[in-house]
Amino acid sequence: MNANAKPVETRAKASVRAGRHVYDALVVGAGPSGSAAAYWLADAGYDVAVIERKRFPREKTCGDGLTPRAVRQLEDMGLGDIIARAHRYVGLRTCAYGHQLELRWPDHPSFPSYGYVITRHDLDMLVAERAAKAGARIFYETEAIEPVIDTAVRSDASRDKRLPKLLGINTRDVKSGRMEELKARYIILSEGTTSRISRHLGAVRDKGLPLGMALRGYYTSPLHDDPFIESHLDVRNSHGDVLPGYGWIFPLGDGRVNAGVGLITTAGRWKGINTSEMLDTFIRNSAGKWGLSPKSACGPATGGRLPMGLSTSPKTGTNVLLTGDAAGSINPFNGEGISYGYETGRLAAACVAAALCGAGEDAIYSYEDRLQAAYGLYYKIGRTFVRMISNPEVMHRCVQAGMHSNALMEWLLRIMANLLRPDETAPAEMIYRALLSVARVAPDPEDFLTGIGTATR
Ligand SMILES: Cc1cc2nc3c(=O)[nH]c(=O)nc-3n(C[C@H](O)[C@H](O)[C@H](O)COP(=O)(O)OP(=O)(O)OC[C@H]3O[C@@H](n4cnc5c(N)ncnc54)[C@H](O)[C@@H]3O)c2cc1C
């Protein structure tokens, strides 16, 4: 922690009222990616503010599942002891076509071999408060309304492949309606899927890349403290047809489970699928042993979208960066976005810190390269994987083959959760071989493996 952090904070409080203060960094959104970015910048001693339109704690539609990747980030932020009070689980029970396999999280030198299930109501509050304790100033119930673009610098996102330079963000106090411009040298947009400011600036989602859609509800269950989270790979519609999606039951350890259904595909192939009906059918067909029924529901189910595979571009401008869902950073293999929110927020903070130390806009532009280096090839393979499983026939055959091999499924779990060990030196090649071995039983494998072959060369 930089020794200057406290005096900077005091100066900030005095001049913000006058509207003259220029923060080192301003973060829009206090979800996983925004709070992580704010924490890492504040911990390094920078003068950082966060604008969050909701009052925390607040509900956030999510499966509430933290994988070992997410736990590692929380531990790095000093939240290891607090998060240990949540429900710890040891692995994934995967179920399909009458079979089930229990797969434990692998031993890994960098990640723990456990995860947690915790409501976003509690989790997001913990991380935002951690950022505040490190010195970030958080303005709750303050909505970012529009960016203040530096018109002295000409730019066109569609032509330049960069977002325009910003001077600040116009904000509105949700309760009083009072408008105020907050100024900053660097701005991190962590607004989630709504992406009001990013879209205003010209960032767009590539519609050819995977988008998920998911619906979840809370249910009381006698198995609320099961040591495994559960996924179902054969979810169906009310006519009994298998759908290109999955169902989950994640035990919260507090008398409840989080149960939901998700669809992951490209090119809007799930259009026309009724997710409410899908969830009802899933609860009726698959959740019996958990004691779930419409009667055990704690309230109405809510849903949301999952932008995947780094699908939004551009992700940077001279002094702007997009993180988490705003950058489309969810893992296409498994729909996990919390850890990637923490990781992209941390990466963005590192780039802003470098820029503030004198590296300037080059450091900001390096963010896209660093994202590509961290996730590019992996997500490319993930996109091919989504294309493959979007075909119900292929999905059916792959799942049936996988469910007869514990070793293969353990391996796939490591791949899908991005938990390959460093000694597995050629992960892309390994993924290729895993998918190929599964796909051999599927019709016309060449059709969907072409992309992977290219990716591994
Ligand atoms: C049904 C469902 C289930 C999921 N299950 C899981 C799971 O089990 N595990 C997992 O890892 N991921 C899961 N995800 C994905 C995960 O929820 C997201 O990837 C994650 O929340 C992204 O974090 P973020 O910080 O980018 O955005 P968000 O969490 O969406 O945070 C954005 C924040 O910005 C605020 N904001 C937005 N606009 C403005 C504005 N204009 N002004 C001020 N504030 C603003 C919002 O109020 C919000 O607090 C699920 C998603 C869905 C929809």
Please name each of the domains of the chain with its CATH number.
5-64+119-206+309-375 (3.50.50.60), 211-306 (3.30.9.10), 391-456 (no CATH)
62 C-alpha to ligand 1 centroid (Å): 8
60 C-alpha to ligand 1 centroid (Å): 7
Convert the pLDDT of each residue in 130-161 to its tens digit.
999 999 999 999 999 999 999 887 666 666 78
Single out the residue of 164, 195, 167 nearest to residue 182, CA to CA.
167
Cβ(192) – ligand 1 distance below 6 Å: yes
Task: Please give the sequence-ordered ranges of beta strands (E in DSSP) within 63-201, or none if there are none.
Answer: 65-66, 87-89, 91-96, 99-104, 115-117, 137-139, 142-149, 166-173, 179-189
Mean pLDDT of all residues in 21-41: 98
Task: Give, using CA atoms, the residue closest to atom 30 of ligand 1.
Answer: 192
Instruction: Report pLDDT for 7.
Output: 35
Cβ(338) – ligand 1 distance below 6 Å: yes
pTM listed for this prediction: 0.91
Cβ(251) – ligand 1 distance below 6 Å: no
Task: Give, using CA atoms, the residue closest to atom 49 of ligand 1.
Answer: 31
Distance CA 403, CA 264 (A): 20
**Ligand 1 atom closest to Cα of residue 32:** 25
Instruction: Report pLDDT for 409.
Output: 81
Cβ(106) – ligand 1 distance below 6 Å: no
Q: Kindly report the average pLDDT of the chain as a whole number.
A: 86
Kindly write down the DSSP assignment for every residue of 231-244, as one continuous string: EES--B-TTS-B-S
Mean pLDDT of all residues in 232-249: 86
**What's the maximum distance between 2 C-alpha atoms anywhere in the chain?**
68
Mean pLDDT of all residues in 414-440: 65
192 C-alpha to ligand 1 centroid (Å): 5
Residues ≥6 apart with Cβ < 8 Å to 240: none
Is 4's pLDDT higher than 50? Answer: no
Task: Give, using CA atoms, the residue closest to atom 2 of ligand 1.
Answer: 62
How many other β-carbons are positioned within 10 Å of the β-carbon of residue 359? 13
Residues ≥6 apart with Cβ < 8 Å to 121: 57, 58, 59, 60
Ligand 1 pocket mutation pick from 53, 111, 179, 282 by most atoms within 8 angstroms of CB: 53
How many other β-carbons are positioned within 10 Å of the β-carbon of residue 363? 19
Q: Enumerate long-range contacts of 175-180, CB under 8 Å, 24 or more apart.
A: 175/141, 179/145, 180/19
Convert the pLDDT of each residue in 126-135 to its tens digit.
999 999 999 9
Amino acid present at 8: V
> Could you give the angle at which helices 338-354 and 32-43 cross, rounded to 10 degrees?
40
Cβ(69) – ligand 1 distance below 6 Å: no
Cβ(260) – ligand 1 distance below 6 Å: yes
